[in-house]
Amino acid sequence: MNFNKTEFYASYGQFKQIPESEKPEVAFSGRSNVGKSSLINKIFNRKNLARVSSVPGKTATINFYSTDNICYIVDLPGYGYAKIAKDEKVRWSGLIEGYLTADRDIALVMQLIDMRHPPSADDLHMIDFLVEAEQPFVIVFTKADKLSKKQREERMNGFAEEIPYFDQIETIEFSAVTGEGVEKIRSIIEEVTQQEEQ
């Protein structure tokens, strides 16, 4: 798969606007500001494919990117951002839940969690939801460059206690700054989208 052949495809603000799946999709989920857009830019070698912002809540729509005519990369809106109006929150959760519960060709969900902190209640709710829905997923720990070796060890031990079924979940430590984890994520994307084609 040529990861450089990734283009913006479409953006949807309402679940009902999303057309039926025509290719396998790899979706990126996580709280606002966790680094979803930065990760997508890094994986696909593009500076501004997805909008990065220090202001949380930047990605308020579901954004589809098409990779090499093989699969869609789906940037879900970040959840858990307190400072937005309640009806906006309802729209966001409707979008995310609608997307994940519809009968779509979702090959994998990459659940992003900020490596510096214990998972939020929303993160744990999301993981629970993915387990219950039997939706294949992996966890990507983001912003790994911000921790020392010791802090990383402590956090990984913490996650093992805090996240249910931790030993059964594939995890990737990632940094959009150093590029750690990029190759692993690319090979997972290739693996899950090609399996589906057989």
Q: Could you list the residues that contact ligand GTP (CB under 6 A)? A: 30, 32-38, 52-54, 56-59, 78, 142-143, 145-146, 175-177
**Other Cβ atoms within 10 Å of 66 Cβ, number:** 16
54 contact choice in Mg ion, ligand GTP, none (CB below 5 to 8 Å, kind-dependent): ligand GTP
Minimum distance from residue 172 beta carbon to ligand GTP (Å): 12
Residue nearest to ligand GTP (CB): 78
| Helix (H), strand (E) at residue 43 | helix 36-43
CB nearer to Mg ion: pick between 122 and 190: 122
Q: What are phi and psi of 145, to 5 degrees?
A: -65, -15
Residue type, 29: S
33 binds, among Mg ion, ligand GTP, none (CB under 5 to 8 A by kind): ligand GTP
CB of 37 or CB of 67, closer to ligand GTP: 37
Long-range contacts of 94-99 (CB under 8 A, 24+ apart): 94/15, 95/12, 95/13, 95/14, 95/15, 95/61, 95/62, 96/29, 96/62, 98/15, 98/16, 99/15, 99/18, 99/27, 99/62, 99/74
**Distance between CA 104 and CA 20 in Å, rounded?**
7
**In the bound complex, what is the minimum distance in angstroms from residue 112's beta carbon to Mg ion?**
10
Q: State the Cα–Cα distance between residues 119 and 125, nearest whole angstrom.
A: 10
Which of Mg ion, ligand GTP, none is residue 143 near (CB under 5 to 8 Å by kind)?
A: ligand GTP
Which is nearer to Mg ion, 36 or 155 (by Cβ)? 36
Please report how close the Cβ of residue 180 comes to ligand GTP at its closest, in angstroms.
Answer: 9
Min dist CB 113 to ligand GTP, Å, is: 11
Residues that bind Mg ion (CB under 5 A): 36-37, 59
CB of 164 to ligand GTP, least distance (A): 23
